Structure 1
Amino acid sequence: MTAVTIATIGGPRLTMGFDRFDRIDLDRHRALHGALPTPDLEELLKITEAVDLRGRGGAAFPFARKLMAVASRVRSAGGDAELWLPGAEDDRDGSEAVVVVNGAEGEPGSQKDKVLLTRNPHLVLDGAQIAASALGTRDIVVAVESGAAARAVRTALAERRMDAEIVRLPERFISGESGAVVRAVNGQIPIPPGRKVRAAESGVDGRPTLLSNTETFAQLAVLASLGPDLYSTAGTDSEPGTTLLTVGGSTVVEVPLGTPLSTVFAECGVEPGQGVLVGGYHGEWITPDAARSAVVSRAGFKAVGGSLGAGIILPLPEGTCPLREVARIAAYMAGQSAGQCGPCRLGLPDLYRSLENLVDGSGFPEQVRRAAAVGRGRGACSHPDGTARFALSALTAFAADIETHRLNGTCNQPCFGVLPLPVPTGGETKVTIDWSRCQGHGLCAYLLPELIQLDRYGYPVVLNTEIPTWMETDAQRAVAMCPALALRLTPTMTKPTRK
């Protein structure tokens, strides 16, 4: 895991003890947070509704509604539509719920869940146990991408003498989507299922499943420990409590909701720069002026055209080309799709191409808007819509830079690649052309339209992105069938880090 700095504004809750201990074991955890609370389902619903606890993974879904949906499904599967409460006669016929902690943090700009799982996994496990106990089940699954997180959770389970399943997921952007997590736990390929299936109705092994992200369960544990009145002493009236933010990809800061974003920047030692991406790579760009007036909350970010999402804040510093940075991320997002639907297979590469045209001054914002509109709302998951939202917001935030590129073909700024992306492992490949051989047959564009298009002279123009896993077979076929043997699959090289 990238070296992460921990900061706190106001009194720490989730990060309590992080200033003193690198890892909080069970004894320290109990000394800091007290004994494990055991509210029943009715009480747990009451306290989560009282503070309107929302999921912290990005969608901000009300936790009480999700909890009730699972409980109702459990009871319904037993032959009665009424809400099942612990202590009631149990006729569920094997329809026990499953609690899943979604620790898959696929966004390169996010570190908060990894920090929680490695520094104090007991707080997260407390939240999972509280929910499981209220639902009358012992079945808990922790899904993680990080090896360090998996080891920390395994150690914590041994300290608690607690049984729970740990499932490792690949470190991909879409791995954290709820359907992908359920598929992974079920032993299937961890990609979105392609159709909407609510985990509360049919999740792990087809059972009612309560699935929320890491911070949500940690917040649940704090809420159950403090009670709604004390919990609400931080935050705002409509959005009580604290939240975790990852700022600049390397600083995790716990802040009370309602804190000015400028205060967060001052604490983290950063500036709004040329613009600020809020909500991550499915979020929105906001201008420096908007960032200076923004308040950290769902309502506060919405008021300036952004979204809190999973708490990812990425300022774009001066000196790097904004359009090249945006196009660089769009290329990454195109390569992260599962390739299950047209909006991902063809729409995201087209969106990237339209952004590249802005970079070289040959394109227009309307081309980006058209590419973003293709298949809107029709994707197999939220990935194409989220990526389109990211690109469209850049048109407003960097309008002046777009005009500079249109007039001059460049803004005379290099691209330093400051927006975080995964470090290549050396196994990635790209499609390249041997121009000494290419004769313009055009077969490659027919076989691999997602990556290759033809220019007006009939010669291939290749998308400058890594080949997604789902496209590898098609790429190999295109290479083998090129009549001029001009197509290549070239390994990517990891660039050295500047000291």
Structure 2
Amino acid sequence: MITAKPRLACIDPPRLLAGLDEAYRLDRVGHLTVHGQMPALRADELVALAENIDLRGRGGAGFPFAKKLTSVIESAARRDGRCAVVVNGSEGEPSCLKDTALLLHTPHLVIDGAMLAAEALGAEDVCVAVHRPDVEESIAAAIAERAPSGPRLWVSRTPDRFVAGEGGAVINGISGAPAIPNGRKIRTSDSGLGGLPTLLSNTETFAQLAVAARMGALPYRSVGLPTEPGTTLLTVAGKFVMETPTGVPLTYILDLCNLTPGQGVLVGGYHGKWLDPNSIHATTISRESMKKYGARLGAGAVLPIPEDTCPLGETARVTRWLAAETAGQCGPCFIGLPALADALGQVERGGGQSAVDNVRAYINSVKKRGACSHPDGTAGFVTTALDAFPEEIESHALGLGCGRPTLGVLPLPEDSQPLALPPGPSAAEPRREREPRGRMEQLIVDWSLCQGHGLCADIIPDVLQLGIDGYPASAKMDVPRQLRAQAVRAVRRCPALALRIEE
């Protein structure tokens, strides 16, 4: 559970954080005093506003909000006109607190944006999905402060997990199903809450919409870059939530927080990219600037790593946590990520060049094969660390180390548990023969053919726990003869997997 309280800051003039210099939390009266009444907009007017200000999703992908609105409108028109709105406040990224800041301190701004969209679309339900109990209490209090009119407004607390913040996982969590991404790609604009076309977007996105609707497009565009107007929220070092106009130098943001670039800065969170010190000095808070260095702001996390901590140790620590956050839907995630974390640990402990080669092999084996984006994001996180800290990687691999402790500066949940690696040999240990368990057969699955459909999810509890000898090529599982039919049925659900039984 992440319970850290954000420390607020802004580069004037504040918009999303307006009024919070005088009050810890804006109740309904305080909110209306600061922001004024909310106008009503038709669906076409809302789409035009989102296009004029180039509003993008602030949860990570940066998808154009106007296109998302249009998709919901078109999907609802093909049905009976019914639809829903969901605010994704499920901030499972430990390095991000910006959505928490909005929902704790100025919840009515977020609700205003969601209700504006719901009324324009004719939606029946508006649900705010959150992880934290204190955020749930804040939203519940805000709902109680509002007049009961318009679409039904409610808050839902979903499981506090990294993968539970993905759009499909949020819908599943609200609906009472396991809060994991859908194995099959299902657009929430076609089928979301209750099977209805659903407008699902990030907390900050709805808050920005509420600000823009009050201001109008031209005043909204008066700050920031002409190509990326307005402000954005950043979480710096896992502590500070800062509102800044776009275009501000990244080093200026760090200076305001009394921080330095150190050995590098991770932008975009734990599925993000490390920027080296030279790149940092040329980078501004904008999509185009980040794109030059293969990075993106994502959910707005900015994480400098100081000079006195071990970058490989920090990377290995986060990778173990990411591996433990698997959705358990496919081999690349359930098996590949723990194997990747184990191999990275072997590098940290002086496993030689072969350990580094193993890390790169596992990275290649999981990319573009997962049932969701978690394997790709985690593999990318490790890849960017290998590229950003080559000397430290080499020194550790040779057994020399870098002489610095791992201080844990990259934030993780307070109650996070060490990764339990999958059964079978580690990268440095020889295989130990298992005790015979009666007449056995071998089930051989070629995980390299996995296409991430998520169809093989039920073999995770039923078969894989029986023992795995390898990844990413063939996984050989000793299966008691009485479980043969069950194992075959489980694996054959996925046509992409090769299967044979050997005695």
TM-score, L = length of structure 1: 0.83
**Aligned position for 1:491:** none
Does the Cα contact within 8 Å between 1:354 and 1:363 map onto a contact in 2? no
Q: Which runs of 5+ in 2 are unaligned?
A: 434-458, 468-477, 479-503
Q: Structure 2 residue aligned with 1:409, among 390, 400, 403? A: 400
Partners in 2 of 1:454 and 1:273 — Cα distance?
32
Cα 1:265–1:153 change in 2 (3 A) is same
**Aligned position for 1:442:** none
Deviates more, 1:118-127 or 1:343-352: 343-352
SS in 2 for 1:18: coil
Q: Structure 2 residue aligned with 1:301, among 283, 290, 297? A: 290
Structure 1 residues 8-30: Cα deviation after superposition (integer angstroms, max 9, x where no partner): 01210000011110010111111
**Is 1:397 equivalent to 2:372 in the alignment?**
no
Partners in 1 of 2:255 and 2:49 — Cα distance?
34
CA RMSD for the aligned pairs?
Answer: 2.1
Structure 1 residues 261-307: Cα deviation after superposition (integer angstroms, max 9, x where no partner): 01100111111111111000010111122112210111111112321
Cα 1:430–1:132 change in 2 (3 A) is closer
Partners in 2 of 1:418 and 1:459 — Cα distance?
37
Partners in 1 of 2:372 and 2:461 — Cα distance?
21
**Is 1:112 equivalent to 2:131 in the alignment?**
no
Cα 1:431–1:32 change in 2 (3 A) is closer
**Aligned position for 1:227:** 216
Partners in 1 of 2:226 and 2:384 — Cα distance?
30
Partners in 2 of 1:459 and 1:19 — Cα distance?
62
**Aligned position for 2:454:** none
**Aligned position for 2:19:** 17
**Is 1:278 equivalent to 2:267 in the alignment?**
yes
Does the Cα contact within 8 Å between 1:48 and 1:63 map onto a contact in 2? yes
Q: Structure 2 residue aligned with 1:139, among 86, 111, 125? A: 125
Instruction: Give the Å deviation of 1:454.
Output: 7.1
SS in 1 for 2:100: helix
**Is 1:173 equivalent to 2:162 in the alignment?**
yes
Partners in 1 of 2:68 and 2:420 — Cα distance?
44
**Aligned position for 1:387:** 378
Cα 1:260–1:455 change in 2 (3 A) is closer
Cα 1:308–1:47 change in 2 (3 A) is same
Instruction: Give the Å deviation of 1:477.
Output: 7.2
**Is 1:368 equivalent to 2:341 in the alignment?**
no
Does the Cα contact within 8 Å between 2:343 and 2:427 map onto a contact in 1? no
SS in 1 for 2:366: coil
Instruction: Give the Å deviation of 1:206.
Output: 0.8
- In the TM superposition, 1:408-447 aligns within 5 A as 408-424=399-415, 428=417
Does the Cα contact within 8 Å between 1:359 and 1:409 map onto a contact in 2? no
**Aligned position for 2:84:** 98
Give 2:292's aligned amino acid: A
Instruction: Give the Å deviation of 1:429.
Output: 7.3
Instruction: Give the Å deviation of 1:404.
Output: 2.2
Cα 1:363–1:55 change in 2 (3 A) is farther
**Aligned position for 1:217:** 206
Partners in 2 of 1:458 and 1:219 — Cα distance?
55
Give 2:77's aligned amino acid: R
What percent of counterpart residues are identical?
A: 45
Deviates more, 1:352-361 or 1:124-133: 352-361
Q: Which runs of 5+ in 1 are unaligned?
A: 78-91, 433-444, 461-469, 482-499
- In the TM superposition, 1:30-429 aligns within 5 A as 30-77=32-79, 92=80, 95-162=81-148, 163-364=152-353, 365-424=356-415, 428=417
Partners in 1 of 2:419 and 2:303 — Cα distance?
28
SS in 2 for 1:300: helix
Does the Cα contact within 8 Å between 2:159 and 2:173 map onto a contact in 1? no
Structure 1 residues 44-69: Cα deviation after superposition (integer angstroms, max 9, x where no partner): 11111111100000000000000000
Partners in 1 of 2:306 and 2:171 — Cα distance?
38
Cα 1:74–1:430 change in 2 (3 A) is closer
Does the Cα contact within 8 Å between 1:362 and 1:409 map onto a contact in 2? no
Cα 1:5–1:223 change in 2 (3 A) is same
Partners in 1 of 2:44 and 2:348 — Cα distance?
56
TM-score, L = length of structure 2: 0.83
Give 1:406's aligned amino acid: A
Runs of 4+ in structure 1 deviating by more than 4 angstroms, as ranges, are 428-432, 470-478
Structure 1 residues 462-485: Cα deviation after superposition (integer angstroms, max 9, x where no partner): xxxxxxxx978989978xx9xxxx
**Is 1:3 equivalent to 2:17 in the alignment?**
no
SS in 1 for 2:137: helix
Instruction: Give the Å deviation of 1:345.
Output: 1.2
Does the Cα contact within 8 Å between 1:360 and 1:409 map onto a contact in 2? no
Does the Cα contact within 8 Å between 1:239 and 1:297 map onto a contact in 2? yes
Instruction: Give the Å deviation of 1:399.
Output: 1.1
Does the Cα contact within 8 Å between 2:321 and 2:418 map onto a contact in 1? no
Give 1:174's aligned amino acid: V
SS in 1 for 2:426: strand
Instruction: Give the Å deviation of 1:378.
Output: 2.0
**Aligned position for 2:471:** none
Deviates more, 1:406-415 or 1:222-231: 406-415
Give 2:276's aligned amino acid: T
**Aligned position for 1:463:** none
Instruction: Give the Å deviation of 1:209.
Output: 0.3
**Aligned position for 2:426:** 453
Deviates more, 1:136-145 or 1:58-67: 136-145
Instruction: Give the Å deviation of 1:401.
Output: 1.2
Cα 1:337–1:431 change in 2 (3 A) is closer
Instruction: Give the Å deviation of 1:409.
Output: 3.0
Does the Cα contact within 8 Å between 2:234 and 2:241 map onto a contact in 1? yes
Partners in 2 of 1:423 and 1:400 — Cα distance?
31
Partners in 1 of 2:15 and 2:427 — Cα distance?
56
SS in 2 for 1:332: helix
Does the Cα contact within 8 Å between 2:346 and 2:428 map onto a contact in 1? no
Structure 1 residues 20-41: Cα deviation after superposition (integer angstroms, max 9, x where no partner): 1001011111111110111111
SS in 2 for 1:285: strand
Give 1:133's aligned amino acid: E
